[in-house]
Amino acid sequence: MEERMTDRTPCVVPGCRRTVALKTLPPGDDEWICARHWAAVPKRKRRIYFRARRRLRRGEIERKRADWAWNRLKKIAIEEALLGLEI
């Protein structure tokens, strides 16, 4: 059984060994995409996610909607990694 370090969180892409300190993530977030896999996500999709986060912070949308945008980014990053399109 693999032990997980509690003060760090790995990139969401399976097989990626990069981690980040939990204290650097925004409160309430426990997932992260490393820079290598983040760059593989199309810029348009990243903008949609940032817009959703901004609207959530302003109280214009519910958390569920912002989570949908994040889950979409995760899916794209994982698919790109599996296709070998990493940068």
Find out whether 46 and 70 touch, Cβ atoms under 8 Å: no
- Indicate whether 75 belongs to any domain: yes
Q: Is residue 3 part of a domain?
A: no
Question: In this structure, is residue 47 part of a structural domain?
Answer: yes
Residue 30 near residue 49, CB atoms below 8 Å: no
Cα-based angle 18, 21, 23 (whole degrees, multiple of 5): 155
Number of separate domains in the chain: 1
- Is residue 87 a part of any domain in this protein? no
How far is it, in rounded angstroms, from Cα 82 to Cα 14? 9
Q: Note the pLDDT tens digit of each residue in 33-52.
A: 999 999 999 999 999 999 99
Q: Which two tokens stand for residue 83?
A: 């296709």
Q: Which of 7, 81, 68 is nearest to 38 (CA)?
A: 81
Q: Are 37 and 77 in contact (CB under 8 A)?
A: yes
Query: pLDDT-derived band of residue 1, with 50, 70 and 90 as boundaries?
Result: very low
For residue 24, the enclosing domain spans: 8-82
- Full-model pTM: 0.80
| Residue 2 placed within a domain | no
- The better pLDDT of the pair 26, 70 is held by 70
Residue 85 — very low, low, confident or very high, per pLDDT cuts 50/70/90? low
Q: Has residue 64 got a pLDDT over 50?
A: yes
